Structure 1
Amino acid sequence: MSLADRLHAALSRDVAPGVVLLSGDHPDVETSPDVPAWPAAVLVAITERREPGVILTQRTETLRKHAGQIAFPGGRVDAGEDVVTAALREAEEEIALSRDHVTVIGQADGYRTVTGFQVTPVIGVVPPDLLLQPSEAEVASVFEVPLAFLLDPDNHVAAQVEWQGRMRHYYEILWHDRRIWGATAAMIVNLARRLQWA
């Protein structure tokens, strides 16, 4: 089964009983049903090579929110857009990844952040070794992490921190000198759980 077929199969099935996915109603995430969430989308771009990788970005230190953090390319869904269009647009704006190079597989499980965004990961397969150019205003660097490393549960480290007077639980994934954590890590954990079950 090809990478695209495996991803498509995993995304198109209902989650089996006992497979716990992190989301806005997970006890580790404090959300209020009375507060609407801003729709957002990210592109999980997986390189089609013998050992597939995932394209990630490190945000610049000058941003007002999430400065320096590791993230998928993505952002808010604009009026008139769907999540796929938004994810592809953001990837073009942030790292010059042309939508013509992306084979969209489908949408993964949404994740509601503590900052009020309902994020939909859009899974896409891209050719390897594309020339990507980070947007100076938003992205400090673009890098690739092996998909197998990200999906390995042994690399999903549960952690906690006190934030706004409460203990927050989250996951982090350490790749060399990069620390992937928060919503990005949670979406990776969800994808890993789906793929392992499928």
Structure 2
Amino acid sequence: MTLIERLSAATATRADHELELLRADLRELELDDAPPAAEAAVLIAVTDRAEPGVILTRRTEQLRQHAGQVALPGGRVDPGDADAVAAALREAEEEIALDPAAVQVVGAIDRYRTGTNYLITPVLGIVPPDLPLVPHEAEVAEVFEVPLAFLLDPANHRPATAMYRGVRRDYFEIEWEGRRIWGATAAILINLTRRLS
């Protein structure tokens, strides 16, 4: 099965319900007085090579939120965006100069609601390898590629726990070459693992 066929299968089996991984994160957000979630989208850009990789970024230390964290390119869905796919492509172009025309969009996978009340739509796309990506100086400190096989290997998914605003949070971490991939980014990649298995 080709890479595109495998990724297409992951989007074709997309369910309308959250996976078990997401349910724990949603419990404290299911309150009657909770504000509506902010819509966001990220791009899971998979490089089309013999050993595919996923393009990730490390955010700059100067940002107010999630400074220094590893993330997938993405952000809020703006009113001018046609949909989550358009938002993910726009954000990837803004953050790392990824030309939307270079992305073969495969589709979206299960949305992920964060503890900070963002509802993220991950968009899968295939991109040519070794594109000349340029990080947006104010937002992105680094652009790098992690082997897809490494990210999808359950042996690399470490459970972790932290307290956030007085609530215990369970989450996953993936360590790669000294970089800590955790929180929503790790959860989205683990959901992809479950879709592909």
- Whether these two folds match at TM > 0.5 is yes
- Report the equivalent of 1:32: 30
After superposition, where does 1:138-177 map in structure 2 within 5 Å? Answer: 138-177=139-178
After superposition, where does 1:71-150 map in structure 2 within 5 Å? Answer: 71-81=71-81, 82-150=83-151
Structure 1 stretches of 4+ moved >6 Å: none
Aligned counterparts of 2:20 and 2:104: Cα–Cα separation in 1: 25
CA contact (8 A) 1:63 1:138 kept: yes
TM-score of the aligned structures, taking structure 2 as reference length: 0.93
**Aligned partner of 1:126: which letter?**
V
CA contact (8 A) 1:21 1:190 kept: no
Q: How many residues align?
A: 191
**Structure number with higher helix proportion:** 2
Aligned counterparts of 1:145 and 1:21: Cα–Cα separation in 2: 25
1:94-134 per-residue CA deviation (whole Å, 9 max, x = no partner) reads: 00000010000000110001111100000000000000000
Q: How far 1:80 sits from its partner (Å)?
A: 3.5
Measured on the aligned residues, the alpha-carbon RMSD in Å equals: 1.3
TM-score of the aligned structures, taking structure 1 as reference length: 0.93
Q: SS of 1:194's equivalent?
A: helix
1:142-185 per-residue CA deviation (whole Å, 9 max, x = no partner) reads: 00000000000000000001111121100000001100000000
Among the aligned pairs, what percent are the same residue? Answer: 60
**Aligned partner of 1:179: which letter?**
R
Q: How far 1:28 sits from its partner (Å)?
A: 3.8
* 5+ residue gaps, structure 2: none
**Aligned partner of 1:137: which letter?**
A
Instruction: Decide whether aligned partners of structure 1 residues 147 and 20 sit closer, same or farther in structure 2, where only a CA change above 3 A counts.
Output: same
